[in-house]
Structure 1
Amino acid sequence: MDAQLVVAGNRTRPVHQVVCYRRILVTSTGVWLGKKPLSHALPLLLTQVSLISAIAAITHSLLRRLGQSSVVSQIAAGAIVGFSGAASDRRVAAALFPPQSKIQFDVLSGVGVILFLFMVGVKTDMGMIAKSGRKAAAVGFSCTLVPFVLMSFFGLLLRQSMSVGFREELVYQLAATWARTSYAVLSCVLDVLNLLNSKVGRLAMSATLISEFNKVIATIETALRLGMKAKSQMMGIGAFFSFLALLGFILLVARPVTLWVVRRTPEGEQMKAGHLLAVLSMAFACGLINEVIGHQFATDAFLLGLALPGGPPLGATLDRKFDTMVSGILVPLFMAGADLRMNVHAISDRARCGYVVFFVLLGGVGKVVGVLLPSMYCKVPLRDALTLALMMNTKGIFEVYIVDGQMYAVMVLCVVAFSVVTNFLVKITYKPSMDYLVNKRRTLQHSRMEAELRILACIHTQENVVPIVELLKTCLASYRKPKGSAGGAAETDHIMNAFSFLQQENKGSILVLPFVAISPQATMHDDVCALALEKKASFVILHFHKKMAIDGSMETVAALKNMNINTLNYAPCSVGILVDQGPSTADHLLYHIAVYFLDGADDREAVAFAIRAAENPTTGVTVVRYRLPREWREPCAEEDLDDEMVSEFRMSTIQNHRVTYREEVVKDGQGTIGVIRSSSSYFSLLVVGLRKGKKSPLTEGLSLWSEYPELGALGDVLASTDFGCTVSTLVVQQQTRVGVQQSEGAHRDKELSASLSLRKRSTPS
């Protein structure tokens, strides 16, 4: 029996369509015994699941290149196989989607939705509401209230002229549904567009979470309304208080039990199977209770997820065990199943459907106004405000409800249209990297010696702490104190304690400001660049994506490679990549640094690093300048800048007995490597410039076998295990993005020369 809602006059009444079919078995004995597998429930369901999952995956692989989310791909998959596509043929519909298959298909997709919304709720940080600030709060409430009021007002205004089948109650339902932005849908869209951790993306997620909080209030209002519609006063009171009892179960039972389980799970490990099953059982129990008291079955699964602690171990365990199955199979079934019910051929009443489109567009306009007004008041840039309005207009299948066939089809088409247009416009108009353009030079070379130097160090694991702390301590600190010890239970605590001790050990000269960020792998560089921009850092230190293992081999952390490359491309300041080769074998009391200076801006930045390091009384510095034979040299502005940098280095360290400068004449890359090979073992750290895309006889032939382009030709050789270098290497890139993308031309040469002159005047003799 399939129930629908049909509107007549001012009332919405249920009409039941009775569908009769033969009783079927669950499993088939096979074609060899003369049976038709698709006439049995399980083979038919497996066929539907396989077909829809495959078509959704293929469709998404094509549409995601255009910036479209999985929502559009899954709805498109449903349209391809559904009654607007292949199933419009009666033979195909009878074979693949007979009426008797609808129940098991809907049940399986419903289970998927419960799991999906529960996982989204668990991954959601409720602290975002408290931390969102006035901008997110204003946008969240305004972009929900304005479209609801606007649609309701025009519904009242046009109530006399609307067709018989479209009255005020439907306008209210449409306004209440389309005024909200689904947190689950928006998070999926921003994930595809790699904008989850962008400035506008974070604002949109915070505002949407506040909008979802409005949904909780609406759910309580629904509970009251159901209570008022009950046959007796006692039944009404029972309907309302049963919902409150469910909220009490979530807050007073489910949350404490989960927190107890989390505390019993060792750090870094997944939850035990029994504990995870207990949590999942509570999620399905919430869905059952929702059905019993008359609410949507998945609503409280999301509320339960919000109430539980996200992150490891619960969030990490759910993500590892269920994410692929839920997002790749069960959710596409729900989305495509919703579209299977759509039949574009059922659209016949143009006036009625025209009103639906009108109110949907009105809601979109209200969203834009509801975003722009508080954004202008909070002084959000117009480009960011328009992008935010597009994001908040993202729609999914959760905005669709069944009234009748043609209205349902129109709503689904509106969802697709909104999603396609907003996703495409956001993709082509919003580039987070444009936020990292600055109008000032933020480099070591252009920083005054007596001014504050801000460095951003990126730590991913506890193993990254020692080499970076040693780099900061021995190269940039002005003095050292006796070592102490730090303790802590969690890995994050160990990291924080190490840097807190660095600050205490160098009190007065180093100030540590710790920040913790949880980022998707594809957008980790956004957090780095945004923080460097906000804190006006002059230098970012990254860890190379390979590290030395206990047995001497190199372990790879693949996620860091793309982050390092993207940070080099978009950073608003200079960047250094530290290749950690383990403790140095150099037998020196001093921490001795060697800077290999060839030519160009990156190498000048490396020399500026050496000038800073030479200020530390425990550090020795050697600068080796490689030069072509005199007869091969051609006068140019670049060489003049290099000469000025060398003069600056020698003047600032003229009375420093820990500093050495020498020149080596070489003819090609082999000569350069030969000098490095013969002397590198005497040093504790090697510093070279990245020299990306720069061709020179000094590195000729070195880039032919380059494996790590983010290290440059020379850094790649030093990081290679074939070279046999056991000394850590710092590869430096000077800031490349200032206002607009600039090349090594006369304009920048003039700016660098002026900066060097300024440094000469400001450096004490």
Structure 2
Amino acid sequence: MNTIINVNQSLFLTIDKFNETFYNVCYASPPTIVSDGLWVQIDYRKPMKASLPLLELQMLIIFCITQFFHFFLKHLDFPLFVPQVIAGLLLGPSIQLEALDRFKKSVFPYGTQDTLATITSIGYTLFIFITGVQMDLSMVTRTGHKAWTIAIISLVVPLIISVPVIGFYLQSNLGELIKDLGPLVLSQTMISFAVVASLLNELKIINSELGRLALSSVLVSDIVGTTVSCVANVLGGTGGTMKQFSLSLVALIAMIIFVLFVCRPAMYWIVKHTREGRLVDDGYVNIIIIMVFALGWVSAKLDQDFMLGAFVLGLAVPEGPPLGSALVKKLELFGQFWFLPTYVTCLVMKVDLSVNFSQTSFGVIASFITVTHIVKVIACVVPALMCKIPLKDALAFALILNAKGVVDISFFSTLYDDSAISAQTYAALIVSVVIIACIVKGGLKFLYDPSRKYAGYQKRNIMSLKSNSGLRILACIHKQHNISALTDVLDICSPTTQHPIIVDVLHLIELVGRTCPILISHRLQKSLSMGSHKSYSDDVILAFDHFEHENYGAATAHIYTAISSPTLMHDDVCQLALDKVASLIIVPFHQRWSADGVIESDDKNIRSLNFTLLEVAPCSIGILVYRSPLLNNSSVRLAMIYMGGKDDREALCLAKRTLRNPRINLVVYHLATGERMQNLEYLLDNKALEGVQKSHNGMENMSYHEVKVNDGPGTSAFLRDIVNEHDFFIVGRRHENNPQTSGLTTWSEFQELGVIGDLLASSDFESRAGVLVVQQQGKDT
């Protein structure tokens, strides 16, 4: 009997004859790839029996299932790949229900899983390539002894401990499980840079000190592990003869040399011939993508993993813009966020949790996994404690180096496909990846809180400084136009030789095309010859060198560049402010105005950063709204709006420091209701104003005015009257339960500026005056 079936419907037709089973492979030629439409009535030309519509339907179903579980699990802080694993278990043979089985047989017929996994493995290849692009290989040479020590110990110790354990089990009667022990230990010992970087990004601690140390250690571990794996693959694929081993090793080294000395210089040539600010030509990007798969094919021919070529080429790509960032932007959405989740689901669809687990095999697998990770935790904690890392941070660090994720699932699938491990072991390993990933992420959230190091254990504000002491400021810069704004504000702060200002300038650059954040001290680079290389911060360095020269002996500037993700920039700012014992952080407002008052740019990332800094900054913070430059040779009409509260007291302290500059004419406006409140805040406000009230009569460049204001509309009307009389305003941010601001909070557009700052920055006032909004960060916050 001849039966014609579509290749996507089934690869094999089973025919029973004389108690024997024959497999009759049927293939429709030419194959039906694209459907003729929904209205075609021929059976073998139905839409879902065509290859492409079926593939699209499968990917759509997987996407919907993963997003459904992700919607619920993201609120419980599960790792991002867990919904993909659940989708694989649901669509695989692990869950056996009659209705579900019929659905899976019709939508995922036999043979299509492998086709789907092969196509979506493109996403995994691109993911590995992007990981290599985002790696900063120079970290290996710059990594300190801590990272090297911990990385090597965490690799070697579990392997050494496992040798006697394997010997013990070899003497036992474990049957088929014996061959799984070697790959089992190796799989639990190795750790991937991509997995750790993804975990740290999820937890938003990649910029923390612990995150940087973990990335350095994992990078060393990953490079060492990849090297050992390559040598092992060469040995395994040569048949044991020295000649074949030598030829394979030489071919592998030749491929790496080709990448380093041909591909990498060619990429630098592309970067050199790309004009600053322009995108890399798409033709170059497409050639590099073709090279990714060509080198993968070469790797496979050399008995190596297909991903090795993509990884090595990724390492050769110059990180960051313009080439690295162009590749990441072009491939990330297609590979990492579309094909990769489908690929993970396809790998997990091979898992069959309904297989019979004997008590012995389950106990051996579980004990091996548990013991290996416990040994690895101890191997990480002990050297970390010897390096003076606190116990909680050492435990968190050990958990990071035990992380599991997508790369491990792919590795286990490869072992299973190569028959290196059994189906029971494969199922146990996939489940262990989910359990370990959840334990690691939950344990890290419990053990490590990067914001706790920003807590104010001592006063770091302007009020706490002695009257004759210097002022240390951390000034943040995002774009070139922020430079003149900050130098104007620093001039207003009136540095003198008796009252100097130390400025730590932090140039914040968005991290694109790389994983590892960077903090550069340009003071350390001054003695180095930079050649023809142009730094991102050259203009910043020149501007503040000039500022320091103009205020010789009165101002000192230290320049830093931080390259990190916008969501994690606050870590760089807070850590530097903490290290430098800064009393004030100055950050630019997220909007920029043109000369005629029209908004030129509105950066939501900067606004988000400002909100975060207001919450976690370890010292006082000021948000600078800058509209027009202050003329160096003319007087500056400065106003301070005072209504009471700790933020206003802090702003008043800063305003009084400006009086050392004779160019500055300060006016302090005290908006009062006339009521006397006998509480602590009222007494502190009066004490802060005493010095201003008594001394303004004897100072030519300061005046004091008390204005009676009873409500919010009165405050708004008063500010509208004086806004064009001044060049610059210093105000406090918070005025809780203040009658002078009643009714104004509802209409505030920018909460980060407070009520008064928002009014002064409003376009309704048509003012060109700059505003510095100050928030005090005291010991009690």
Normalised to the residue count of structure 2, the TM-score between the two structures is 0.87
Pick from 440, 443, 455: which aligns with 2:461?
Answer: 443
- Structure 1 CA distance for aligned equivalents of residues 86 and 289 of structure 2: 31
Cα 1:714–1:284 change in 2 (3 A) is same
Q: Aligned pair 1:646/2:689, yes or no? A: yes
Query: 1:643 corresponds to which letter in structure 2?
Result: N
- Name the SS for the 1:298 alignment partner: helix
Q: Output the CA distance in 2 between the equivalents of 1:85 and 1:728.
A: 65
1:563 is matched with which residue: 603, 606, 609? 609
CA contact (8 A) 1:607 1:649 kept: no
SS in 1 for 2:763: coil
2:302 to 293, 313, 317: 293
Query: What code does the residue aligned with 1:414 have?
Result: S
Deviation digits for residues 91-145 of structure 1 (CA, Å, limit 9, x no counterpart): 2332222233234312212211111111111112223333432222222222222
Name the structure 2 match of 1:681. 724
Partner of 2:661: 616
Could you say which residue in structure 2 is the equivalent of 1:475?
493
Query: 1:627 — aligned with what?
Result: 672
2: CA distance between counterparts of 1:86 and 1:47? 22
Question: Following the alignment from structure 2 to structure 1, what is the Cα–Cα distance between the partners of residues 96 and 494?
Answer: 68
- Is 1:64 paired with 2:74? yes
Match of 2:505 in 1: none
Superposed, 1:335-346 pairs within 5 Å as 335-346=344-355
2:36 maps to 1:25 = no
| Superposition map of 1:746-765 within 5 A | none
Residues 344 and 409 in structure 1, CA contact (< 8 A), matched pair in contact too: yes
Check conservation: 1:242, 1:293, Cα contact below 8 A: yes
Quote the residue 1:747 is aligned against: none
Inter-partner Cα distance in structure 1 for 2:775 and 2:535:
34
Q: Report the residue type matching 2:318 in the other structure.
A: P
Q: CA deviation at 1:488?
A: 10
CA distance in 1, matches of 2:306, 2:486: 51
Indicate if the aligned counterparts of 1:667 and 1:698 stay in contact, CA closer than 8 A: yes
8 Å CA contact retained: 2:117, 2:347: no
Offset of 1:723 from its aligned partner? 2.7
More displaced stretch, 221-230 vs 373-382: 221-230
For residue 550 of structure 2, the aligned residue among 489, 505, 508 is 505
Percent identity reads 30
Q: Is the 8 A contact 1:142 1:371 kept in 2?
A: yes
Q: Cα–Cα, structure 1 residues 308 and 587, in superposed 2: closer, same or farther, change >3 Å?
A: closer
Q: In the TM superposition, what whole-angstrom CA distance separates every residue of 1:163-195 from its partner, at most 9, and x where no partner exists? A: 11122x532322222212211112222222222
Alpha-carbon distance in 2 for matches of 1:50, 1:87: 22
Provide Cα deviations, 1:393-449, integer angstroms capped at 9, x if missing partner: 210243223122221111100001111121122224422111111321010111123
SS in 2 for 1:184: helix
Residue in 1 aligned with 2:338? Answer: 329
- RMSD (CA atoms): 2.5
Q: For residues 356-375 of structure 1, what are the structure 2 equivalents within 5 Å? A: 356-375=365-384
In 1, distance between residues paired with 2:719 and 2:632?
18
Going from structure 1 to structure 2, the CA distance change for 1:488 and 1:682 (only over 3 Å counts) comes to farther
Other-structure match for 1:138 = 149
String of CA shifts for 1:19-42, please: whole Å, max 9, x gaps. Answer: 945444322223322233222221
Please state if 1:40 is matched with 2:50.
yes
2:87 is the counterpart of 1:77: yes
What's 1:573 paired with? 619
Distance 1:655 1:154 in 2: 86
Equivalence for 2:198: 188
Whole-angstrom distance in 2 between the partners of 1:65 and 1:280? 36
CA contact (8 A) 2:715 2:740 kept: yes
Distance 2:749 2:113 in 1: 54
Q: Which moved more, 1:428-437 or 1:557-566?
A: 428-437
Report the equivalent of 2:712: 669
Task: Give yes or no for the alignment of 1:398 onto 2:407.
Answer: yes
Q: Is structure 2 residue 762 aligned with structure 1 residue 720?
A: yes
Distance in 1, matches of 2:703 and 2:696, equals 9
Q: Within 2, Cα distance between the matches of 1:653 and 1:146? A: 72
Q: Unaligned regions of 5+ residues in structure 2, if any?
A: 1-6, 8-21, 501-531
C-alpha displacement of 1:161:
1.9
* SS of alignment partner, residue 669 of structure 2: strand
Q: Provide the C-alpha distance between the structure 1 equivalents of 2:746 and 2:754, rounded to a whole number of angstroms.
A: 11
1:731 aligns with 2:773: yes
Residue 377 (str. 1) matches residue 395 (str. 2): no
Tell me the amino acid that sits aligned with residue 52 of structure 2: L
Count of residues in Structure 1 that have an aligned counterpart in Structure 2? 712
In 2: Cα distance, 1:199 partner to 1:387 partner: 12
- Supply the AA of the counterpart residue of 2:683: D
Deviations 1:482-529 (A, max 9, x none): xxxxx9966532122212222222222222222211222222212111
Does structure 1 retain, via aligned residues, the 8 Å contact 2:113–2:346? no
SS of 2:395's partner is helix
The unaligned stretches of length 5 or more in structure 1 are 2-16, 481-486, 743-765
Distance 1:448 1:347 in 2: 75
**2:124 aligned residue (113, 118, 126):** 113
CA separation of 1:85 and 1:521: change in aligned 2, threshold 3 A: farther
2-side partners of 1:370 and 1:633: how far apart?
65
Structure 1 position 236 matched with structure 2 position 250: no
Q: Tell me, what secondary structure is at the counterpart of 1:516?
A: strand
Deviation at 1:86, TM superposition (A): 7.3
Distance 2:198 2:65 in 1: 19
Distance 1:425 1:489, change over 3 A: closer
Q: Is the 8 A contact 1:146 1:366 kept in 2?
A: yes
> Deviations 1:202-238 (Å, cap 9, x if unpaired)?
22222111111212321342244236535x5432221
Given the superposition, is the C-alpha separation of residues 256 and 86 from structure 1 closer, same or farther in structure 2, using an over 3 Å criterion? farther
The answer (yes or no) to whether the contact 1:598–1:626 under 8 Å persists in 2 is yes
The residue aligned with 2:634 is: 589
2:586 equivalent to 1:541: yes
* Cα separation, partners in 2 of 1:541 and 1:44, compared to 1, 3 Å: same
Cα pair distance change 1:317/1:602, threshold 3 Å: same
- The 8 Å contact of residues 611 and 652 in structure 1, kept in 2 or not, is answered as no
Report 1:686-697 matches (<5 A): 686-691=729-734, 694-697=736-739
CA contact (8 A) 1:436 1:533 kept: yes
State the match for 2:222 in structure 1.
Answer: 212
Letter in structure 2 aligned against 1:714: I
| Aligned equivalent of 2:743 | 701
Q: Is the 8 A contact 2:317 2:324 kept in 1?
A: no
Paired residue type of 2:215: M
CA distance in 1, matches of 2:684, 2:24: 85
Counterpart-to-counterpart distance in 2, 1:447 and 1:469: 22
Q: Aligned partners of 2:372, 2:464: CA distance in 1, in Å?
A: 51
8 Å CA contact 1:462–1:491 kept in 2: the answer is: no
Matches of 1:391 and 1:684, distance apart in 2: 52
Maintained 8 Å contact 1:347/1:407: no
Return closer, same or farther for 1:478/1:150 CA change in 2, 3 Å cut-off. Answer: same
TM-score by length of 1: 0.88
Worse overlay, 214-223 or 261-270: 214-223
Please tell me whether the aligned partners of residues 87 and 97 of structure 1 are also in contact (alpha carbons under 8 angstroms). Answer: no
User: Structure 2: how far apart are the matches of 1:19 and 1:309?
Assistant: 53
Rounded to whole Å, the distance in 1 between the matches of 2:533 and 2:258 is 35
- Is this contact kept in 1: 2:692–2:704, CA < 8 A? no
Separation in 1, partners of 2:320, 2:23: 47
One-letter amino acid of the structure 1 residue matched with residue 481 of structure 2: E
> Could you tell which deviates more after superposition, 348-357 or 81-90?
81-90
Are the aligned partners of 1:38 and 1:95 in contact in 2 as well (CA < 8 Å)?
no
1:484 — aligned with what?
none
Q: Are the aligned partners of 1:474 and 1:613 in contact in 2 as well (CA < 8 Å)?
A: yes
Is the Cα contact below 8 Å between 1:69 and 1:188 reproduced in 2? Answer: no
Q: In structure 2, do the counterparts of structure 1 residues 20 and 518 end up closer, same or farther at CA, with 3 Å as the change threshold?
A: farther
Task: Kindly indicate whether the alpha-carbon contact (under 8 Å) linking 2:94 and 2:351 is maintained by their aligned counterparts in 1.
Answer: yes
- Secondary structure of the equivalent of 1:33? coil
